Structure 1
Amino acid sequence: MEIFNGTQQALANRIKSDSTISNWKDWQWQLKNSIRTIGQFEKLTGIRFPAKEKEKLNETLEKFPLSITPYYASLISKDNYKNDPVFRQSFANVHELTVLDNELKDPLSEESDSPVEGITHRYPDRVLFHVSNICAMYCRHCTRKRKVGDIDFVPSKEQLRKGIDYIKNTPQVRDVLLSGGDPLMLPDSQIDWLLSELTAIPHVEIVRIGTRMPVVLPYRITDELVSILKKYQPLWINTHFNHPREITASAKEALRRLADGGFPLGNQTVLLADVNDCPRIMKKLVHKLVANRVRPYYLYQCDLSEGLSHFRTPIGKGIEIMESLIGHTTGFAVPTYVIDAPGGGGKIPVMPNYIISWSTNKVVLRNYEGVITTYKEPDHYDNKFCDRNCASCNLELNLEESDEIQSLGIEKLLSDDNDSISLIPEDNERYNRREE
């Protein structure tokens, strides 16, 4: 029989005295009982704030609302909550009221790159499709703080249809990223409908979902949801773990269901001051991710959104963390460190420098240990001048899928997709007589 751990039991009983493990693991029960006020937070967690601090915190919530699932709140270390990474990411901070001159409501200019409602078309062959402004939890570091929590924007099919029609009428779009808010806040039936519409568009090759559900509400990843998603392969799923403590037994179960469902899983971590700005923390995080079949995808420099100055680190801290990963752990456990350029310039990779110098014939390099070495350039390389006349190019430009190599010899006889029953050597005298 499944039981609560002590913290979950106490928190659930404060919500309702007869709460059961079935209630706790019901994602809709979790949403219904989300913590939205400071009073609720104090009552359910037992953490108390001084009166003056509470006044400032209430001012913060007037501008940036609060929403924490009971599950995520149960992860907070009550004895050291002010330094707890879960608390820092989920609970309001008076520093959010400090808005610097260079901080923006829309730092990535998503509105400027929005040809129709719900679509951001920044890169040539892919679009971001905002399908909800609601999240299971409102992350305090969210780049879309201007939108998240807008209860008036839960899109209808008619609103979503505008984005679908834009994608249909824009044939260069081969990749659609569903984002929000959190796309998995939509009902199963609406997710099913949306994916069926998008995957029916001939030029859409892949669909991606960006979600934080495995982190803040892992019970949303139900068998029923996975069955729906499995109908629409290839489907890629990116989640958003920022600290090793978020990878709990429940989070692991959610990731297992998704991985077993056949979805490639990635993770996008935001570099946050006093949360994960430490090489030791980040290495542990990426190791726990790959152990659960999640590939670290991006490490984001915190954006210039309003009220996030207390979360931002110098870029040098990110470089330091990358130096601690590259060469020191498995290659596919190393994310790409990026800055999402203010003004809508897109993601810019930022990496340590490994090229020390460069001449006509040699490149001088250094490795992760500081060993300096050289790479000899080829003596003869005919630089290809491309005049865009593909018809005269000697490269293989037939880019369609190749036919499978036909089976030969004994392999041919063993093959289930071939009707041959015998191999006849060339110039077999008996068969030549038959032909005569």
Structure 2
Amino acid sequence: MPDGSADTKPRTMPAAEARTLRSPAALVRAGLVPPGAEPELDRLTARYAIAVSPTVQGLIDPADPADPIARQYIPDMAELETAEQERSDPTSDVPFTPVKGVVHRYPDRALLKPLLACPVYCRFCFRREVVGPDGGLLSEAELEAALDWFAATPQVREAVLTGGDPLMLSPRRLGHIIRRLSAIPHLDIIRLHSRVPVAAPERITPEMLYALETDKALFLCVHANHAREFGTAARSALRALNRAGTVLLGQSVLLRGVNDSAEALEALFRAMLAARVKPYYLHQLDRAPGTARFEVPIAEGRAILRALRGQLTGLAWPTYVLDLPGGAGKAPLGPDFAVAEGADWLVEGPLDGMRQRHAEPPRPAHGFPPPHPSR
């Protein structure tokens, strides 16, 4: 299948396959792993959860051993090999958890993790040590304590619902969370991060849309890594969210064998925009255990993005970031098109590759530019 085809027709699944696959045996029956792999994969499953939703199953080409959709979701024994640089908590959630379910790293925003279940389990997930089918659902008391923390922390202006996947909550429970957060005067923004619109679009029901209603600014970050994830059902779910007033942003991870080429990233970003999703972040891989096979060197990532600058609209341009270990925050990685030379700048034109000198204006004697003359 071509890298850039967002309109590739999903394969038709028998009724027996139209359920989430959660075991190596189920993957064998679906033809997604060979029968001989089952015993070893059982050992892997004891550590890391498996879930491949019906929608994702329909996007996989089982005849392609390098299928970029399969690579994201089908388990591989390499996941049991932990590299020296990998960490069980690569983004340092634990040290910044004031109450259960809350992570507060940045001054003006905090995460709320109401559950740790997802519609699918990505093989590169940075929370793979804690997410799984048991759900990690906050109890009623724990959820209320987390919401009370937001109400009592006035410097926090933005609540970010993540997990796990907040759209795996029932509309009733999600609606309660949105209403509680909406009633907090100092909160300006509610943001949700989700795979659901592309991995389980059937969950975007009228009840779910009603649960998301709020007078606050509400943003939904859709996690997708390949253009083919924007199939017919996904585009329909995203249209419904857009019509309901939800602002849609795109979040991706740069992944070896999935989107590590200028052609694949261009197709992904164009597919996002066509679905009314603004590319927001392109993440350098978080070094969770067993994920080394997905890592693309930063220099390569910068070169790929440099090749795209000027070739596609600025609307498609995400911020390429590395979430630094220890909770130091997301650092932009470039690429750069300007270098300082003395008091001037040499700025490279994305269209012609030529460098032009950009001289800085002289500093005024008193530190402030003179006022413009009246016109």
1:64 aligns with 2:67: no
Partner of 1:367: 349
CA distance in structure 2 between the partners assigned to 1:67 and 1:47 by the alignment:
12
Which secondary structure does the structure 2 equivalent of 1:83 belong to? coil
Which secondary structure does the structure 1 equivalent of 2:96 belong to? coil
Partner of 1:103: 86
Deviates most, 327-336 or 373-382:
373-382
Partner of 1:18: none
Partner of 2:359: 376
Aligned-pair CA distance for 1:382 = 5.7
Matched AA of 1:363 = W
Partner of 1:428: none
Q: CA, structure 1 residues 7+357, in 2 after alignment: closer, same or farther (shift >3 Å)?
A: closer
Aligned-pair CA distance for 1:223 = 2.0
Which secondary structure does the structure 2 equivalent of 1:7 belong to? coil
1:165 aligns with 2:148: yes
CA distance in structure 1 between the partners assigned to 2:84 and 2:66 by the alignment:
28
Aligned-pair CA distance for 1:36 = 0.9
Aligned-pair CA distance for 1:157 = 2.3
Partner of 1:7: 11
Deviations 1:50-79 (A, max 9, x none): 52x333222211111111112211211021
Deviations 1:160-186 (A, max 9, x none): 111111111111000010000000111
Partner of 1:40: 26
Aligned-pair CA distance for 1:125 = 0.4
CA distance in structure 2 between the partners assigned to 1:227 and 1:324 by the alignment:
42
Matched AA of 1:144 = R
Partner of 1:317: 300
CA distance in structure 1 between the partners assigned to 2:229 and 2:155 by the alignment:
38
1:49 aligns with 2:64: no
Matched AA of 2:28 = E
Partner of 1:77: 61
CA distance in structure 1 between the partners assigned to 2:331 and 2:363 by the alignment:
33
Aligned-pair CA distance for 1:315 = 0.7
CA distance in structure 2 between the partners assigned to 1:120 and 1:262 by the alignment:
27
Which secondary structure does the structure 2 equivalent of 1:176 belong to? strand
CA distance in structure 2 between the partners assigned to 1:268 and 1:152 by the alignment:
23
Q: CA, structure 1 residues 150+36, in 2 after alignment: closer, same or farther (shift >3 Å)?
A: closer
Aligned-pair CA distance for 1:228 = 2.5
Q: Identify the match of residue 191 of structure 2 among 204, 208, 213.
A: 208
Q: CA, structure 1 residues 139+265, in 2 after alignment: closer, same or farther (shift >3 Å)?
A: same
Matched AA of 2:180 = E
Gaps of 5+ in 1: 16-23, 25-32, 386-436
Deviates most, 370-379 or 304-313:
370-379
Aligned-pair CA distance for 1:384 = 5.3
Deviations 1:58-109 (A, max 9, x none): 22111111111122112110211x2111111111111101101221110111
What is the alpha-carbon root mean square deviation over aligned residues? 1.7
CA distance in structure 1 between the partners assigned to 2:144 and 2:306 by the alignment:
45
Gaps of 5+ in 2: 1-8, 369-375
CA distance in structure 2 between the partners assigned to 1:150 and 1:158 by the alignment:
21
TM-score of the superposition, structure 1-length normalised?
Answer: 0.79
Aligned-pair CA distance for 1:6 = 7.9
CA distance in structure 2 between the partners assigned to 1:310 and 1:348 by the alignment:
23
CA distance in structure 2 between the partners assigned to 1:269 and 1:383 by the alignment:
46
Contact 1:173 1:204 in 2 (8 A): yes
Q: Which has the higher relative contact order, 1 or 2, with Cα contacts under 8 A spaced 6 or more apart?
A: 2
Indicate the percent of aligned positions where both proteins have the same amino acid: 35
CA distance in structure 2 between the partners assigned to 1:60 and 1:257 by the alignment:
38
Q: Identify the match of residue 121 of structure 1 among 97, 104, 109.
A: 104
CA distance in structure 2 between the partners assigned to 1:383 and 1:68 by the alignment:
64
Deviations 1:183-228 (A, max 9, x none): 0111111111111111101100110010100111011111221123
Q: Identify the match of residue 191 of structure 1 among 169, 174, 178.
A: 174
Matched AA of 1:154 = L
Contact 1:11 1:74 in 2 (8 A): no
Deviations 1:360-408 (A, max 9, x none): 3x222112131111222122436759xxxxxxxxxxxxxxxxxxxxxxx
Which secondary structure does the structure 2 equivalent of 1:60 belong to? helix
Which secondary structure does the structure 2 equivalent of 1:310 belong to? helix
Which secondary structure does the structure 2 equivalent of 1:226 belong to? helix
Aligned-pair CA distance for 1:316 = 1.4
Q: Identify the match of residue 333 of structure 1 among 316, 340, 347.
A: 316
The aligned length equals: 359
Q: CA, structure 1 residues 48+166, in 2 after alignment: closer, same or farther (shift >3 Å)?
A: closer
Contact 1:298 1:338 in 2 (8 A): yes
CA distance in structure 2 between the partners assigned to 1:85 and 1:143 by the alignment:
19
Matched AA of 1:46 = G
